[in-house]
Copies of this chain bind each other. A is one copy, B any other.
Amino acid sequence: MAEDEPVAPVPEGGEPSKKALKKQLKEAEKTAKKAERKAQNESQQTSNDVGLDISLERYGQFDMIQSKEQHEERKFMHVKDLNPTVADQTMWFRGRVHTSRAKGKQCFIVLRQQSYTVQVLIAVNEKISKQMVKFCSNITKESIIDVEAIIKTVPKKIESCSQKDIELHVEQIFVVSAAKSQLPLQIEDASRPVTESDENSLNIRVNQDTRLDNRVLDLRTPANQAIFRVEAGVCKLFRDILTKKGFVEIHTPKIISAASEGGANVFTVSYFKGFAYLAQSPQLYKQMAIAADFDKVFTVGAVFRAEDSNTHRHLTEFVGLDLEMAFKYHYHEVVDTIGQMFTELFRGLRDNYADEIVAVNQQYAVEPFKFLDPPLKLEFPQAIELLAESGVIIGSEDDLSTPDEKLLGKLVRAKYGTDFYILDKYPLAVRPFYTMPDPNNPKASNSYDMFMRGEEIISGAQRIHDPDFLTERAKYHGIDLDKIKAYIDAFRYGCPPHAGGGIGMERVVMLYLGLDNIRKVSMFPRDPKRLTP
Contact = CB atoms under 8 A, between A and B. Distances in A.
B66 A254 contact: no
A353 interface: no
Contacts of A219: 288-289, 292-294
A387 interface: no
Interface in A486-533: 486, 490-497, 505, 522-526, 528, 531-533
A241 interface: no
A424 B9 CA distance: 18
**Copies per assembly:** 2
A243 B252 contact: no
Contacts of A228: 248, 250, 294
A21 to B, nearest CB: 15
Given A8-B416, A255-B526, A301-B302, A288 B67 contact: no
A82 interface: no
A293 B248 contact: no
Given A70-B330, A288-B533, A374-B6, A528 B272 contact: yes
A319 interface: yes
Interface string A107-125: 0000001100000000000
Interface in A306-359: 306, 308, 316-317, 319, 328-332
Given A416-B7, A532-B486, A267 B271 contact: yes
A46 interface: no
Interface stretch (A47-55, A153-161, A434-442): A434-442
A69 B327 CA distance: 12
A253 B239 CA distance: 21
A462 interface: yes
A378 B2 contact: yes
A187 to B, nearest CB: 10
Interface of A: 1-2, 5-9, 64-71, 74, 76, 94, 96, 113-114, 142-144, 176-180, 183, 215-220, 224-225, 228-229, 231-232, 235-236, 239, 243, 248-257, 267-272, 276, 278, 284-285, 288-289, 291-295, 300-302, 304, 306, 308, 316-317, 319, 328-332, 372-374, 376-379, 382, 416-417, 424-425, 436-440, 446, 462, 465-466, 469, 486, 490-497, 505, 522-526, 528, 531-533
21 contacts: A2-B378, A9-B374, A64-B465, A67-B332, A67-B436, A68-B440, A69-B329, A70-B329, A71-B329, A143-B494, A177-B465, A177-B466, A180-B492, A183-B493, A228-B294, A236-B249, A257-B532, A269-B269, A271-B306, A285-B524, A490-B533
Given A68-B440, A232-B249, A251-B505, 11 more contacts: A1-B425, A2-B382, A9-B372, A68-B439, A96-B293, A96-B494, A144-B496, A177-B494, A220-B292, A267-B270, A268-B269
Counting from the closest, the 7 A-B pairs by CB-CB distance are A219-B292, A257-B531, A179-B494, A232-B249, A65-B497, A66-B439, A68-B439
